[in-house]
Amino acid sequence: MAESDIFIVYSPKNQGKVDQLKNELISHGYTIREDYKQCVPGTPEWESALEKELVQCKFVIYVASPLTKISRYATKEIQTARKLDRPVLLYWVQGNNWALSAPNGFDSTLYIDAREESKTNLVIEAFNEYTLLKLNEEPAADTPKQQNNLKKQEKRAKPKTQKIQVIKITLNNLSFIPSNLPTKRNSWTQQQRSVYPQLRNKFSGKYDPRFWTLTIVSITIAMLIILTVIMTYILQSS
């Protein structure tokens, strides 16, 4: 696979702009992959060839325009590129509203505006920056010593980048964050932790039956007293 292979998604009705872009990229040593176009669009052979081309390319350029957005085949091409996790560069060549030209899911993505003039130089700069970024993300570790150093660096960096997972302990409608996790509410947390055993004994179902029997009897007696007072008042009033 050539390092400069490029796949271009476009509408044939924007052929003039696309040809200009192709010629300028080829003059800078880039290769345009178009073998799949020899197949009949929409057929299984076309889809298979499309995936093969996208797997082998390094970059995808989406030539944005209202015509490309409504093209069934262009939509299939960009969807396949996203499925295969190919880097996509948006190159706007026609239209007054970006939302009507952008592919679905790319409305808020940065793009190169080439409606007035060719911006191939910006395309090449973007490719170069992306290549450098990938090289920095994947440092080479050829020797055992380099691999060892890389593992040590990853180990040291792990605590800094590890996300703190907040564990919630729920008791009926009560929940709190254990104080062993970093938090600015430690005093509140400790207070909840101190009452937790009492709440557990009272509400978890592990209780003394005598407690509930006494409670029910007390409530019943209170209700009878109140009812007696009410009836006495009514009789006296009549």
**Rounded to 10 degrees, what is the CA torsion of 84, 88, 94, 99?**
80
Mean pLDDT, the chain, integer: 75
Give the whole-number percent of the chain exceeding pLDDT 70: 67
CA separation for the pair 94, 92 (Å, rounded):
6
Higher pLDDT, 173 or 96: 96
Mean pLDDT of 57-78: 92
Asked whether residue 189 carries a pLDDT value surpassing 50, the answer given is: no
Asked whether residue 4 carries a pLDDT value surpassing 60, the answer given is: no
CA separation for the pair 238, 232 (Å, rounded):
10
pLDDT on residue 53: 86
Asked whether residue 81 carries a pLDDT value surpassing 70, the answer given is: yes
Which two structure tokens, joined as six digits, stand for 132? 């450098």
Q: Which are the contacts of 9, defined by CB distance < 8 A and separation ≥ 6?
A: 60, 61, 62, 63, 68, 74, 77, 78, 81
